[in-house]
């Protein structure tokens, strides 16, 4: 099926999903699985297709066109895969939806719209489909716990949208074309214009990716969106921001355009500024994730940190770090979506995502626990998961260039991630099971499928990262970036060779030795939960043994009084709200005396200055 036909068919499927859900809720939700699978299957046909142009619409001198590319396929296949896997949760949550028909329709609609973004041949097509994604997700978010979350999401998205719109119009006024390839060629000979275009367009990417200082929408929107859409926001839609960063850094070849500009440690200052923002995002996201009490907000802040890794890797534009940044797009998509799904599964059974109200879920939901464990191992960058491969490559890229401040931030984020991902592990799955959760059981097998598939993919690409890095090296070659050298399980960098199978074998041997020690030595003596010594204090409530609140209080005190960008934004929002109230009270009041006052003012103006108006 042609790419334009696939996109139009997908949009029609979203409408059909709406009517099927109206007829029977679960039927419409099952149809979201079929619709996303349909797109996924046909998308595989474009894996090796490059340069084929598809016309969507033409009028006069304007047209909306798509073009197949290896990078467009890479971004879109990750997005569609996330949508497809998460859709397995939809039939079970549909009964709890406020408006299930709209949700299912917008779910498919937003997916198909992303294809228009990733395969856009021109900026006009990209902008239109970008807005379609923003608006569809805008209406889905308030179907969760908070309508305010959609306001915050819309505000940040608007900053990005207006910025991109300005850039599109500005570039068209200069070059009389929306075509991305033509604009790229023109910008090579106009480096000063390219600087402005680079920063204005990438603001849209930074806002969507959740990079500091635009990160504040992630914990609010992802934390309050429906449990079936938070994984899509974090694992999928947020990657559109990475695509914009990729577009203005690699498609528009900044390494070539900015080659004669000021360099900071061998990197053009424009790219270095973006990398610094990525480094700040890693630190801010890590510190904020550590102190969260809600599991979904914690994962959202971890997304802020991991977005920093992706941005740094892409901005490096080199052989190793760039490949790591591209691979981290996939890794974070799988790991963060899996984390959100596991917490969503817990919420499906318990009704809460507050960590202080949970505990001991490992006994009731072992599959969910295993999926969460594998996901956080990948997020922390531990072998043999794919998260280790991408982070290792990013570290290598930074070390080869001597970017020590950026490298410090990435190392800090990796160490800090151990702390924040361990917290839900200890407070949600380990510890004491609350008596009110004694009847909790594992989620249905259909809900376990996406968690298991994501876990298997995370391990598979950790053991065989060359299977993905080989495709990424093709993307590098098409962008005139020196491709990563990959030979079987061996991956080469400036510091030597890394054999993923050897590393996996070392960890497997270590795991076997640990298992032998565990099973051959004397086991711990199980005792009754209340049969313990409590320093002379009697504890009659088993829940008091579960330590969940203020988990890292001693560490949090170190940065308790840190500057807060969230508070700054809240103050601005408060002042805007107060100004709006003032305007409404003065101009839109039903008070008769106020109406007489304004009529008197208008008559006075007309009387004294009427001849001058």
Written in H, E and C, the secondary structure of 257-282 is HCCCCCEECCEEHHHHHHHHHHHHHH
Which pLDDT band holds residue 451 (cuts at 50, 70, 90)?
Answer: very high
Q: pLDDT-based confidence at 611, cuts 50/70/90?
A: low
Can you give the pTM of this predicted structure? Answer: 0.90
Residue 208 has a pLDDT of: 87
pLDDT at 610: 64
| Rg of the chain over all Cα atoms, to the nearest angstrom | 26
Q: Would you state the pLDDT for residue 524?
A: 73
**What pLDDT was estimated at residue 335?**
93
- Per-residue pLDDT band for 341 (boundaries 50, 70, 90) equals very high
The confidence score (pLDDT) of residue 329 equals: 93
Q: What is the mean pLDDT of residues 31-37?
A: 92
* pLDDT confidence band for 372 (50 / 70 / 90): very high
Q: Which of 250, 267, 565 is nearest to 405 (CA)?
A: 267
Residues contacting residue 602 through CB under 8 Å, at least 6 positions apart: none
Reported as a single tens digit per residue, the pLDDT across 158-181 is 888 899 999 999 999 888 889 998
Indicate the pLDDT class of residue 147, thresholds 50, 70 and 90: confident
> According to the model, what pLDDT value does residue 308 have?
92
pLDDT digits (tens, 9 = 90+) for 542-551: 666 677 777 8
Please, which residues bridge with residue 605 across strands? Answer: none
495-541 confidence digits (pLDDT tens): 778 888 888 898 889 989 998 988 888 777 776 666 666 666 666 77
For the chain, the average pLDDT equals 87
Would you state the pLDDT for residue 495?
74
User: Furthest-apart CA pair in the chain: how many Å?
Assistant: 102
Angle at Cα 556 formed by Cα 553 and Cα 557, nearest 5°?
90
pLDDT of residue 39: 92
Distant-in-sequence contacts of 288-293, Cβ < 8 A, 24+ apart: 288/219, 289/416, 289/417, 289/420, 290/416, 290/419, 290/420, 290/423, 290/552, 290/555, 290/556, 291/552, 291/556, 292/219, 292/420, 293/354, 293/355, 293/356, 293/549
């Amino acid at each position: 099926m042609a790419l334009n036909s696939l996109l139009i068919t997908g949009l029609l499927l979203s409408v059909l999903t709406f009517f099927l859900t109206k007829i029977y809720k679960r039927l419409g939700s099952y149809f979201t699985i079929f619709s996303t699978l349909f797109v996924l299957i046909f998308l595989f046909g474009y894996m090796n297709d490059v340069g084929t142009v598809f016309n969507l619409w033409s009028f006069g001198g304007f047209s909306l066109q798509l073009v197949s590319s290896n990078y467009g396929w890479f971004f879109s296949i990750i997005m569609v895969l996330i949508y497809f896997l998460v859709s397995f949760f939809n039939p079970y949550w549909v009964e709890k939806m406020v408006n299930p028909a709209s949700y299912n329709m917008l779910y498919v609609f937003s997916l198909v719209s992303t294809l228009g973004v990733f395969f856009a041949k021109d900026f006009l097509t990209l902008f239109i489909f970008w807005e379609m994604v923003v608006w569809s997700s805008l209406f889905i978010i308030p179907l969760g716990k908070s309508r305010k979350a959609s306001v915050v999401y819309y505000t940040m998205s608007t900053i990005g949208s207006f910025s991109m719109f300005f850039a599109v119009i500005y570039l068209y006024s200069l070059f009389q074309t929306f075509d991305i390839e033509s604009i790229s060629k023109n910008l090579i000979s106009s480096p000063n214009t390219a600087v402005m275009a680079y920063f204005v367009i990438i603001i849209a990417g930074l806002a969507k990716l959740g990079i500091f200082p635009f990160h504040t929408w992630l914990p609010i929107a992802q934390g309050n969106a429906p449990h079936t859409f938070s994984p899509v926001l974090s694992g999928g839609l947020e990657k559109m921001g990475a695509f914009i960063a990729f577009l203005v850094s690699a498609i528009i070849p900044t390494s070539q355009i900015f080659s004669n500009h000021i360099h900071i440690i061998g990197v053009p200052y424009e790219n270095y500024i973006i990398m610094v923002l990525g480094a700040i995002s890693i630190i801010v996201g890590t510190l904020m994730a550590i102190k969260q009490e809600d599991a979904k907000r914690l994962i959202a802040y971890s997304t802020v940190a991991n977005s920093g890794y992706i941005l740094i890797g892409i901005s490096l534009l080199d052989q190793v770090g760039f490949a790591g940044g591209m691979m981290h797009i996939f890794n974070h998509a799988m790991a963060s979506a899996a984390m959100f799904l596991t917490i969503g599964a817990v919420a499906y059974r318990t009704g809460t995502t507050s960590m202080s109200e949970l505990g001991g879920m490992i006994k009731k939901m072992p599959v969910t626990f295993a999926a969460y464990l594998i996901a956080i191992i990948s997020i922390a960058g531990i072998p043999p998961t794919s998260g280790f491969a991408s982070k290792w490559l990013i570290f290598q890229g930074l070390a080869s260039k001597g970017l020590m401040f950026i490298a410090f931030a990435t190392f800090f984020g990796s160490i800090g991630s151990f702390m924040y991902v361990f917290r839900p592990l200890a407070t949600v799955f380990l510890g004491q099971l609350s008596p009110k959760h004694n009847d909790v059981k594992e989620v249905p097998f259909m809900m376990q499928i996406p968690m298991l598939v994501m876990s298997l993919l995370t391990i598979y690409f950790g053991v065989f990262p060359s299977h993905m890095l080989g495709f990424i090296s093709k993307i590098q070659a098409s962008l005139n970036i020196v491709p990563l050298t990959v030979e079987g399980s061996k991956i080469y960098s400036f510091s030597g060779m890394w054999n993923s199978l050897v590393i996996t074998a070392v960890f497997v041997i270590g795991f076997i030795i640990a298992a032998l020690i565990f099973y051959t030595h004397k086991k711990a003596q199980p005792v009754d939960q209340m049969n313990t010594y409590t320093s002379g204090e009697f504890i009659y409530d088993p829940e008091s043994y579960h330590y969940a609140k203020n988990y890292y209080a001693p560490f949090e005190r170190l940065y308790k009084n840190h500057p807060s960008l969230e508070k700054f934004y809240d103050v601005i929002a408060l002042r805007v709200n107060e100004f709006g109230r003032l305007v409404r009270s003065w101009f839109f009041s039903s008070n008769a005396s106020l109406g007489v006052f304004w009529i008197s003012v208008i008559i006075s103006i007309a009387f004294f200055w009427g001849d001058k108006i």
